[in-house]
Amino acid sequence: MPDPEQPTLTAPSDRSARRDRPDRPIPSPRHSTHAVDRAFLKLERRRPDVRWDAGGVAYLSGPPPALADLRAYVGYRLGELPLLTSRVEGGRRSRWQPDADFAVDRHVHEVVADGPGARDSALHTALNAPFAPGCYWGVWLVHGHDPDAYAVCYRFHHACQDGSAAAMTFRAMLGEGEPSARPVPGRNRPSGVPRRVGAAVGLATRFVVGSLAVRGHRPDAAFAPSGERRLWRGRAPVDTLRRIGAGRGGSAHDVHLAALSGALSVWSARAGVPLPRVTAVLPVDARRADEEQTWGNRCFALPLELPVRTVPGHPDGSRDGEEPLRRLDQVMATTRKLRGETWRQAMQDLVRFMPDGPTAWYLRRVLSPRVTNVMATSMPLADKGSLGETQVTGTALLPLLVPGHLFAVGLSFFGDWAEVSFVADRALPLGELLPELWEQAVGELAESSTPG
């Protein structure tokens, strides 16, 4: 039978309605949950007071759709994303199964801003709104602050998706169908199995040793959390980050982490929050080249100490122009190895074969504030996006905010921009300064890396 007619939005016409559905295989309606999925579900049972969700925000220019039309549009697009109409059933052998009681209305909501100056407060309402009972994800239409601008906030329980799968959801809902830019290991070669086993064991041992070294570390609380999350954004041209990184043999993500380190150094002094050590947890996509992106988690998490404290500059206290580049070199010294084929294959093997018990222990340890105190992730989203005739003008990742962490920071690559977003508790001192300080640190890296 032909596909049903796609609904139109209240925008003048839905250009995406005239696109054919992407020609890609739809997964089986029943998929086993992964060990990482089950680990996040355990975390939820252990700490039901914590929001174990992540997501993203798309900012659009143009008149917003009506809630009913958005629900119809999302319902149509869900045909490409069967995970989102499924639920977890079973115990130790739990599986994703179609949800016979699924209703779009329980997942798609709206928040109407109270006037032109209330966009941020409306967004924060969407950011903190609870999921409906039994739901693993939700979409919030945020409008009312401007007749020609609105936002769409998508949030999901981390047992449901990781960042790569969420990026695929973005492209299915709002993108133009670009393939993911995620790096994946090559196809398996049986002759390399002994080497791969050794690399996987070495990677696991490296983390265990690193986590045991801080077992007695009990970080002082920087602030008393309020329980309400906030979002702050910044941006820089993506070509700027790529040019800086390429000039030192690194990547745009390396530049982001170096700029984050510089921003934290300044923020620490201004906010009066001492940072004797800052270790970020970096989520890494560990899917095989042929693995479907839509179902659950296939990610690994690595701790990376950020060079917030570097060798002091000039004795007279003047600015040291080499300090930003020293930070970048220190970041690259660690990430260079992680980008190699051997370590990527090792991460994939660990995620694929590690049993539930070690996986849950690993996740608890790497997310513990005794080991890490910042969540830092990045994700290529799309070159462009639209909803009807309205265009996506900006994006913001909503990384997982872990209890005891200072904040979570996400870098999304959309169009010509690298967009940084900081998610933190409302009580974080001077948290609103972090995007501006990150932008300034990117500028310092660009200035320091310019010849002459």
DSSP 191-225: GGHHHHHHHHHHHHHHHHHHHHTTTT--PPPSS--
**pLDDT recorded at residue 222:** 75
Query: Distance between CA atoms of 78 and 173, rounded to whole angstroms?
Result: 9
Q: Is residue 424 very low, low, confident or very high in pLDDT (cuts 50, 70, 90)?
A: very high
Q: DSSP class of residue 161?
A: B
The burial of 191, by beta-carbon neighbours within 10 Å (0-12 exposed, 13-18 middle, 19 or more buried), is given as exposed
**pLDDT recorded at residue 164:** 87
Instruction: Say whether pLDDT at 4 is over 70.
Output: no
**pLDDT recorded at residue 6:** 42
Strands 386-387 and 31-32: unpaired
Number of CB atoms found within 10 A of residue 409's CB: 27
C-alpha closest to that of 377 among 182, 177, 127, 142: 182
Contact assessment for residue 199 and residue 342, using Cβ atoms and an 8 Å cutoff = yes
Q: Is residue 349 very low, low, confident or very high in pLDDT (cuts 50, 70, 90)?
A: confident
The region of weakest confidence among 163-172, 317-326, 342-351 is: 317-326
3-class secondary structure, 184: coil
**pLDDT recorded at residue 452:** 57
- Name the percent of the chain lying above pLDDT 70: 79
Q: Is residue 267 very low, low, confident or very high in pLDDT (cuts 50, 70, 90)?
A: very high
Q: Using CA atoms in the order 145, 146, 148, 153, what is the torsion angle rounded to 10 degrees?
A: -20
Contact assessment for residue 204 and residue 197, using Cβ atoms and an 8 Å cutoff = no
**pLDDT recorded at residue 344:** 78
**pLDDT recorded at residue 220:** 66
**pLDDT recorded at residue 193:** 58
pLDDT in tens, 283-300: 988 887 766 666 788 888
**pLDDT recorded at residue 212:** 60
- Segment 357-382 shows an average pLDDT of 92
C-alpha distance from residue 66 to each of 8, 140, 386, 392 (Å) = 11, 12, 16, 17
**pLDDT recorded at residue 190:** 47
Positive or negative torsion for Cα 429, 224, 257, 386: negative
- Segment 232-250 shows an average pLDDT of 96
The whole-angstrom distance between residue 205's C-alpha and the CA centroid of its chain comes to 26
Q: Partners of 141 in the beta sheet?
A: 110, 152
Specify the residue for token string 């070690």.
358
**pLDDT recorded at residue 178:** 53
Q: Partners of 395 in the beta sheet?
A: 58
Query: Distance between CA atoms of 96 and 84, rounded to whole angstroms?
Result: 10
175 vs 422, residue with greater confidence: 422
- Segment 379-398 shows an average pLDDT of 94
pLDDT in tens, 45-98: 999 889 999 999 999 999 999 999 999 999 999 988 888 999 888 777 788 888
**pLDDT recorded at residue 298:** 87
pLDDT in tens, 24-51: 444 445 678 889 999 999 999 999 889 9
Contact assessment for residue 283 and residue 301, using Cβ atoms and an 8 Å cutoff = yes
- DSSP sequence for 406-448: SEEEEEEEETTEEEEEEEEETTSTTGGGHHHHHHHHHHHHHHH
- DSSP sequence for 330-389: HHHHHHHHHTSHHHHHHHHHHHHH--HHHHHHHHHHHHSTTT-SEEEEEEEEES-BEETT
Q: Partners of 88 in the beta sheet?
A: 96
Q: Is residue 449 very low, low, confident or very high in pLDDT (cuts 50, 70, 90)?
A: confident
**pLDDT recorded at residue 134:** 86
Specify the residue for token string 């930003």.
324
Contact assessment for residue 55 and residue 156, using Cβ atoms and an 8 Å cutoff = yes
**pLDDT recorded at residue 315:** 42
- In the Cβ-directed half-sphere of 9, how many Cα atoms lie within 13 Å? 27
Q: Is residue 205 very low, low, confident or very high in pLDDT (cuts 50, 70, 90)?
A: low
Specify the residue for token string 């010294």.
333
Reported as type and span, the H/E element at residue 449 is helix 434-449
Q: Is residue 17 very low, low, confident or very high in pLDDT (cuts 50, 70, 90)?
A: very low
Q: Is residue 7 very low, low, confident or very high in pLDDT (cuts 50, 70, 90)?
A: very low
Give the chain's mean pLDDT: 84
Which structure tokens are listed for 395? Answer: 């994006």
**pLDDT recorded at residue 30:** 65
